[in-house]
Homo-oligomer: A and B are copies of this chain.
Amino acid sequence: MVNVSIVGGSGYAGGELLRLLLSHPHVEVKQVTSRSHLGEYVYQVHPNLRKRTQVKFVDPVQLEPVDVLFLALPHGEAQKRINDYSALAPKIIDLSADFRLKDSATYEKWYCQPHAAQEWLGKFVYGLPELHRAEIATVNYTSGVGCNATASNLALLPLVQAGLVDSAAPVIIEIKVGSSESGAKGNAGSHHAERANVIRTFSAFGHRHTAEVIQETGVMNVSLTMTAVDLVRGVLATAHAKVKPGVTTKDLWKAYRAAANENPFIRLVKEQRGIYRVPEPKIIIGSNYADIGFELDEASGHIVSMCAIDNLMKGSSGTAVQCLNLMMGWNEMTGLDFAGLHPL
């Protein structure tokens, strides 16, 4: 058994991670920290864990050395103490945005402040196995992924890997998200009476996850437009791009099938009948799957590529556990076998 601890376990990503690690066959959870819920049972904050564990939240200063340390802190926190954390564990998986971007200037541009541990940026691998599987298996430090970035990157993955995108044309990614994306701390706009029944395009341009999409896909001319809908979990990215001249639907089938074949958590959904013909978050909530699909307008070369994920699973904690599996040499799918529910 490998010992792991979670720093920052009272948020949604931390709770989801804890749920996964408590059921992981090769892992023992040693400590979970939370300053605001110090001394409480973790199930008082994450009520689904009642009768699953008697672990209580401890103060970060009480952290003991472990094999793997997960950081699930608010953005900007991990970079301040990364030296301390690295002294506690040989391997670190950080779920925040702190070590996702390789370039400190890019970080400063998108996060509007200088990075506090620039020397660490190069030590972390961007933790999306579908892009960096081999490398993740060899390193000690893996960053988390942005949920919207992940939906975007996986929507573009087959196109980029097969070199089918016309890079001169802009790529417009429309992303629809649920309320859990905004975190466990509510605000005025997250009050149920204000947040229910919305279709709210809250960010037309400039979402920070754009930086991860540019870095990981190499597509420079890309924009993310964010729309909140009445759902707790789930993200759908609907990406509009232009394929290179001559690219056919058949070429696309080949590229998408390859992506699904090479990645255990990617599924191609493109059906001619039935209710579920396209990727939808509805049926993958709780699972680590990323469902992808596409439609091509051959006349114009306009492709609509879709990717559906659970933001707290494939978009965050599920992928972090997938990275753990790779870093430890375990089967990539260990502890991530939940199928999702139908109906939900």
Question: Residues of A at under 8 Å CB distance from B?
Answer: 12, 15-16, 19, 22-23, 44-52, 170, 172, 174, 176, 178-180, 182, 184-186, 188-202, 204-205, 221, 223, 225, 227, 229-236, 238, 240, 260, 267, 269, 271, 273-278, 280-287, 289, 291, 295, 297, 300, 302, 304, 306, 308, 337-344
Please give, as numbers and ranges, the residues of chain B lying within 8 Å of A223 by CB-CB distance.
Answer: 297, 300, 302
Closest B residue to A264 by beta carbon equals B51
Please give, as numbers and ranges, the residues of chain B lying within 8 Å of A233 by CB-CB distance.
Answer: 341, 343-344
Additional A-B contact list (19), CB under 8 Å, known A23-B339, A194-B343, A227-B236: A23-B337, A44-B271, A44-B274, A48-B283, A174-B227, A176-B227, A180-B193, A186-B191, A188-B275, A190-B192, A196-B230, A197-B282, A197-B285, A198-B282, A201-B238, A204-B297, A205-B295, A230-B231, A285-B344
User: Do A193 and B184 form a contact, CB below 8 Å, given A47-B276, A232-B344, A295-B205?
Assistant: yes
Across the A-B interface, give the 5 residue pairs with the lowest CB-CB distance, nearest first.
A186-B191, A204-B295, A47-B276, A192-B195, A204-B304
Query: Complex formed: what's the CA distance from A22 to B342 in Å?
Result: 14
Pairs across A and B, CB under 8 Å, 13 listed: A12-B342, A12-B343, A47-B274, A51-B289, A174-B174, A176-B176, A184-B193, A186-B188, A186-B194, A197-B231, A200-B278, A202-B277, A205-B297
A341-B286 in contact (CB<8A):
yes
Closest B residue to A206 by beta carbon equals B297
Please give, as numbers and ranges, the residues of chain B lying within 8 Å of A302 by CB-CB distance.
Answer: 170, 172, 205, 223
Query: Complex formed: what's the CA distance from A295 to B223 in Å?
Result: 13
CB distance from A47 to the nearest CB of B (A): 4
CB distance from A53 to the nearest CB of B (A): 10
B186-A190 in contact (CB<8A):
yes
Query: Complex formed: what's the CA distance from A231 to B281 in Å?
Result: 16
A230-B232 in contact (CB<8A):
no
Closest B residue to A47 by beta carbon equals B276
Q: Which residue of B49, B178, B306 contacts A339 across the interface (Cβ within 8 Å)?
A: B49
A234-B199 in contact (CB<8A):
yes
Query: Complex formed: what's the CA distance from A225 to B236 in Å?
Result: 13
Query: Complex formed: what's the CA distance from A76 to B45 in Å?
Result: 32
Closest B residue to A280 by beta carbon equals B200
Closest B residue to A198 by beta carbon equals B282
User: Do A48 and B192 form a contact, CB below 8 Å, given A199-B229, A200-B280, A238-B227?
Assistant: no
CB distance from A223 to the nearest CB of B (A): 6
Query: Complex formed: what's the CA distance from A337 to B232 in Å?
Result: 23
CB distance from A210 to the nearest CB of B (A): 11
Please give, as numbers and ranges, the residues of chain B lying within 8 Å of A192 by CB-CB distance.
Answer: 179, 186, 190-192, 195-196, 232
Q: Which residue of B180, B221, B235, B240 contacts A172 across the interface (Cβ within 8 Å)?
A: B240
Residue of A185, A198, A283 ringed by the most chain B CB atoms within 10 A: A198
